[in-house]
Amino acid sequence: MKVLEAKNRIIDAKPFQLFTHDGRVSNYQEDLVIWSKEHLKTEALIYQFEVQETIEAEYLPDACVNLLFEIRSTGVIGKFLGISTKARKIVIEPGVLYFGIKPYTNVGLRCIEQNQSNFVDQVVALSDQFSNTEAFLDELAYTLTFQERRELLKRHRAVFLDETQRSVLAEYLSVLLCTETTALSMEKIERETGYSKRYTQRVFQKKIGVSPKLYSRIIRFQNAIKAVYFDDHSTLAKVACQLGYYDQAHLIHEFQLFTQTSPTKLLQTIQTKKVVV
């Protein structure tokens, strides 16, 4: 495997969620930080936001896990969100500051349960899967700024991350799937990694949580929604061609499978004048 080459690849895999672009969300801040110097995916996205009214938002499929902290007047609630393979409704409450980190790889996380497939589409209490979180949660309750929270999380990184815990095969393949613009066949993956399809799928599913094929589909879905949201000149046909879908109908079919709605209707769920044709 071309591990050194993979480490130097630029991964434009910043996940996209519609609710972060909703006009009812306030105090949204984010920052890309170096989370692990040892893994092939070194970065993580740290973010925070609040709302002024209760919002029932659409949480989109996401190939990353989340550590999410709800900072309330009564204390801090920590949650671990596994990879999401389907859209679901989430309720965002006023009077709560939401602060979180989205590592670009879940390899190395100090979860008590090491099989990441058990967390897919699940939300579990942070304390159920990470030990010694009390000091971090106590300090987090008294932070005043985004910068303080970011630095606190970096100081307590060892509570959540073991940089010596590696899976080069899973890491390499996740980089490959993130940086390829089109879908990869298992035959090509077998050639790239030097391992059998069956072995590769087993390792990847345990360490990442889902199969390589599903992971690739979620990444393409994320890239598609970013393209149609941010590029005013994009059409579904153009995006489908760029990302290796068979045609526009195939892209729409994938959107419907992941979200139970069309791309146009999905984007209309937030306050936007975006029109997709």
Which CATH number characterizes residue 180's domain? 1.10.10.60
Residues 76 and 100 in one domain: yes
CB distance 67 to 58 below 8 Å = no
Work out how many domains the chain is built from and give that number.
2
Asked if residue 274 belongs to a domain, the reply is no
Element (H, E) at 241: helix 236-242
Asked, for residue 137, whether it belongs to a domain, the answer is yes
Write down the pLDDT at residue 276.
Answer: 42
Last residue of a domain, one of 160, 189, 206: 160
Q: Specify whether 155 is located in the same domain as 203.
A: no
Which DSSP state fits 26? E
Please check whether residues 104 and 18 belong to one and the same domain: yes
* Best CA proximity match to 76, nearest among 59, 44, 98: 98
Q: Is residue 121 part of a domain?
A: yes
Q: Tell whether 136 is covered by a domain.
A: yes
| Predicted pLDDT at 133 | 97
**Alpha carbon distances (Å) from 184 to 70, 110, 198, 202:** 38, 30, 15, 17
- Tell me whether residue 93 is in a domain: yes
Q: Are residues 113 and 243 in the same domain?
A: no
* Residue ending a domain, choose from 126, 141, 160: 160
Q: Is position 110 within any domain?
A: yes
Task: For residue 276, tell me if it sits in a domain.
Answer: no
Domain boundary among 160, 187, 212: 160
Inside any domain, residue 154:
yes
Q: Distance from CA of residue 242 to its chain's centroid?
A: 22
**Phi then psi dihedrals of residue 98, to 5 deg:** -95, 125
* Burial class (CB within 10 angstroms; exposed 0-12, middle 13-18, buried 19+) of 60: buried
My answer on whether 65 and 150 are in the same domain is yes
Is the domain of 37 the same as that of 123? yes
The reported pLDDT for the residue numbered 274 is 45
If asked whether residues 28 and 75 sit together in one domain, one would say yes
Instruction: Identify whether residues 133 and 25 lie together within a single domain.
Output: yes
b/e burial code for range 6-33 (CB count within 10 A of at least 16 → b):
beeeebebebbbbbebbeebeebeeeeb
The domain of 254 spans 168-267
Same-domain check for residues 197 and 135: no
Q: How many CB atoms neighbour CB 232 within 10 A? A: 8
Ranges of residues in the chain with a pLDDT under 70 are: 1-13, 181-183, 270-277
